[in-house]
Structure 1
Amino acid sequence: MNAIDKRPYELFQRPDSPNWWMRFSIKGHGQKRIGLKTPNGELARVLAEKEYQKAVWSAEAGVLQGKSSFSKLAEQYLDRLDKLSQTDPKRRTKYRHDKGIIDRYLVPYFGKKTVTSITHARVQDYLEWRRQYWTTGPGKNEYAIKYELDGKQFSRPVQHIEPAQSTLRREAVTLRNVFKLAVTLGYMKAADIPAPELATAPKNKRPSFTVEETETLLKHAMNRIAFVGKPDEPQRMIDAKTRFERMMLWGFIQVAFHTGMRPTELHNLTWSNIEGLETARNTAIKDARIRIVAYGKGKSPQRLVPNVEALGAFVALWDAFKTRFRRAPEPSDAVFANIDGRRAQNYKKSLNSLLEATGLKKDAFGRARTAYSFRHTYATNQLRKGTDIYTLAINMRTSVRMIEMYYSDVVPDDMAKRLEGSF
């Protein structure tokens, strides 16, 4: 090695190359080595001076590449997320979610390692450690997870099982967000972010209803509005409260079948969200059109186009409200109301009772049906009638990827005929 001078940095040549290199140390950042890519000594001195000054400035600005620990970056990431959540309450849930992952898994594993030392192989090792965390790893002897929410202390029991692929994917997003902050601060390049390798989650088709099952369910729901009793018993009239509640359930099912709305979106509906209903009530069915503004998943309301059959359900629900409360619904009234006029929170109990009574609680594969099954039925029926997945994804407020993942096996009959035809 041939050293030239003794400045804050040292210039030297390696035995296997005529080019000059430099090395120096900056407090808190360790030693750095930089190849100057020239065999010219004078030029090497000029380049070295520039590189050293650049490194000093970057260190003072807190952006010296590659010398920040993962734990420090994770702390900065949470601080930023916390500040954003102060002005945007919706980010509060994400802050709590990411903080839990960072505090329990990411920082204990990666700790003070510099971000540039965390390679693809190390991330894969982390995934294996994470899979075993609650079974044979650090959490095997823990039986409760303690956490704080709104200033109160809570705890929940531990499940000593391996995490699902979907859980690992969500946690991988948090890990990547910390690395993205490192890119923003100049510690590393976007191309150097290590990507975890996760197996593709199995495509489990969502439980839905066949055309015949749909007809059976709706017919039974309608019959139960007026009468009660088992088929082999004398039928008797039901009380006004039960009749109103069953009317709401029938309407809920009808609207769900013909809009594909999520249960939360349905329960959030007010009459002001049904655009064009007043005009449609006085228009011939073939010409009547309504639009629905859905509130639920996502930051902003989204407009959707319902099937024409949904109009009849909304008209029936409007009339039921007017009969019960002896007044027309106000724009702010909930579409799906309780007997006292307030918003119904869910129909889980009454829906399960109806599904059990019709023998439709589970599909042919033994998968339990829920209120979400109406949404899956809507998607299946739209694809079968030839609606393209891009249009359907927009109307269902979801991604094309989700449509492809869960409904790609639904082939319209006209497409099937073309596929079956001879070449």
Structure 2
Amino acid sequence: MPRVRETEYIEVVREEPDQGPVREAVLFLRDTIWYARITYDGGKTYQRLSTRKRDRDAARQAALRMFYEQSGVAKLGLKLSRATVASLAEDMLAEKARRVAATGRGSHVLRTYRTKLNVLLPVLGKLQPSQITAKVWDDYVLHRLGTGKPKLGDVDKYGQPRRLSRGTLEQERDTLRAILRLALERKLIAALPEMALPRLGVRKKMVSRASFSDGEIAILLDRINRQIDGARNSETKWNNRMLLCYVMFLLHSGVRTNDARIMQWRDVREMARGDGTLVLRLWCRGKGMERESMSQPEAVAWVRELRRIARAAGPDDLIFLGPGGGEYDFTVAFRKLLVETKLRFDSAGRARSAYSLRHSYAMRRIMEPGLNLTYVAENMGTSPEMMATHYLSHVNVVSMVDVLTANTRENADAYLMTPEGQRAAREVAQAVMAAAGLKPRQETVREPKRPSRITRRRSA
């Protein structure tokens, strides 16, 4: 004989002037927690939710609050769902994995999403997408700043406490936005919430980015060539040759490191300029956009060398193909090269990386006389405003060296600023004064006056 369950059902009813009493929810007890069955269409369908309350009056208020919240969702045309951030995250990863398998691109983004979900889900995983608001995101950021541990250590090179970087928080925000975009596609939310990030530390003045001078580039190349000559085996020599081609390709093309990492041989074409000089016509797909870019003529020889030593040079093969057949990551090798040559930081203390080769390209190009800044920005896949912000302040001073150092006086001999010129001018002046019977003015040194009487203030 089936057991008879004695359950107390409590109706939550509101009075309408025209319709009379309208039942909005039914409360019932399960163990010690009150649950609610809520209807939004007058009793045709129900949604069962936990109020998470043990007190009946508190459960009634919670049921009313859920009713009005979900009623607003229904009026906006959104679907009623019990999906959480954690369940949507699984669907988002599955969809992203299918896209990577179909296109062969975006695997690094998928790895970032999986890594950041390990941090996001313990805090936000049980919430529904509609519960992710600007206030919830701000509280999460404060939580991360207080509990997050920087991967580079708790103390920087100056002995100061290190905090979570802005880049880490941006990656976590991008991961959460990917989940919420899926919720938006499924009509679970009406719009993406505002997710701002606070300023971390003192806001620094915009200065030119870290780059390499010609002398520093020569030091890097000399070090790589010595590593090639002193390699212990063929594999080490091949890796250093790949590093050399990588450095010269970035230096003479100005593409982003991500563009170079995913660039395939079908994206590289040689073409002739109007004067017959060969350049590279590159198809870049980094940073979520596709564009064409033209390299400098020097890049042609290095791409040919790269094709000669490449282990696979088919149209769909990466131009920088790693030993294992995947993307070649030069991050560790290039950072080790910078440390060994003592070029890890520039004179202003800014850290250098392979991306600094792109900045070196930009500095060289905009130093060319008569070159339009807009053309350089378009070729590099950035905006003229970014170019002006990070490079133009330095280039303006250097490019005006002739104007700033020109002697604009009519008589150049009257503007002698060298020590020898000043001594000669002083001797001429003394000879002219002696011929005129004038004596140089003697400056007298006055001693400070001494007080005639010293008075002391008596204590009261």
TM class by shorter chain equals 0.5 to 0.7
Alpha carbons of structure 1 residues 292 and 97: separation in structure 2 relative to 1, 3 Å: farther
1:136-215 mapped onto 2 (5 Å cutoff): 162-177=163-178, 189-190=190-191, 193-199=193-199, 206-215=209-218
Alpha carbons of structure 1 residues 358 and 130: separation in structure 2 relative to 1, 3 Å: closer
**1:85 alignment partner in structure 2:** 96
Helix, strand or coil at the partner of 1:307: coil
TM-score for the superposition, normalised by structure 2: 0.52
**1:105 alignment partner in structure 2:** 123
Alpha carbons of structure 1 residues 341 and 335: separation in structure 2 relative to 1, 3 Å: farther
Alpha carbons of structure 1 residues 364 and 292: separation in structure 2 relative to 1, 3 Å: same
1:101-139 deviation digits (Å, cap 9, x = unpaired): 44123236xx36x836x654444333222322347xxxx
**1:370 alignment partner in structure 2:** 353
Cα offset, 1:259, TM superposition = 0.6
Alpha carbons of structure 1 residues 224 and 417: separation in structure 2 relative to 1, 3 Å: closer
Q: Which amino acid aligns with 2:172?
A: E
1:296-317 deviation digits (Å, cap 9, x = unpaired): 7356865320012223434565
Structure 2: gaps of 5 or more residues: 1-13, 24-37, 41-45, 50-62, 101-105, 150-160, 406-460
**2:410 alignment partner in structure 1:** none
Cα offset, 1:81, TM superposition = 1.6
Residue 112 of structure 2 is aligned to residue 129 of structure 1:
no
1:307-318 mapped onto 2 (5 Å cutoff): 307-315=296-304
Q: Which amino acid aligns with 1:78?
A: A
Alpha carbons of structure 1 residues 31 and 179: separation in structure 2 relative to 1, 3 Å: farther
Between the two proteins, what is the percent identity of the paired residues? 21
Superposition CA RMSD, Å: 5.6
Q: 1:256 aligns with which of 234, 250, 260?
A: 250
Residue 79 of structure 2 is aligned to residue 63 of structure 1:
yes
Residue 64 of structure 2 is aligned to residue 31 of structure 1:
yes
**2:379 alignment partner in structure 1:** 395
Residue 130 of structure 2 is aligned to residue 115 of structure 1:
yes
Helix, strand or coil at the partner of 2:276: coil
Cα distance in structure 2, aligned partners of 1:222 and 1:161: 33
1:334-373 mapped onto 2 (5 Å cutoff): 345=328, 359-373=342-356
**8 A contact 1:73–1:181 mirrored in 2:** no
**2:85 alignment partner in structure 1:** 74
**8 A contact 2:251–2:358 mirrored in 1:** yes
**8 A contact 1:207–1:367 mirrored in 2:** yes
Cα offset, 1:363, TM superposition = 2.0
TM-score for the superposition, normalised by structure 1: 0.56
Cα distance in structure 2, aligned partners of 1:171 and 1:227: 44
Helix, strand or coil at the partner of 1:291: strand
1:408-419 mapped onto 2 (5 Å cutoff): 409-413=393-397
Cα offset, 1:173, TM superposition = 3.5
Helix, strand or coil at the partner of 2:278: coil
Alpha carbons of structure 1 residues 94 and 387: separation in structure 2 relative to 1, 3 Å: farther
How many aligned positions are there?
A: 335
Alpha carbons of structure 1 residues 55 and 409: separation in structure 2 relative to 1, 3 Å: same
1:231-282 deviation digits (Å, cap 9, x = unpaired): xxxxxx99998877665554433222111234465466665543127xx6xx
Helix, strand or coil at the partner of 2:125: helix
Name the structure, 1 or 2, with higher relative contact order (CA <8 Å, separation 6+). Answer: 1
**1:19 alignment partner in structure 2:** none
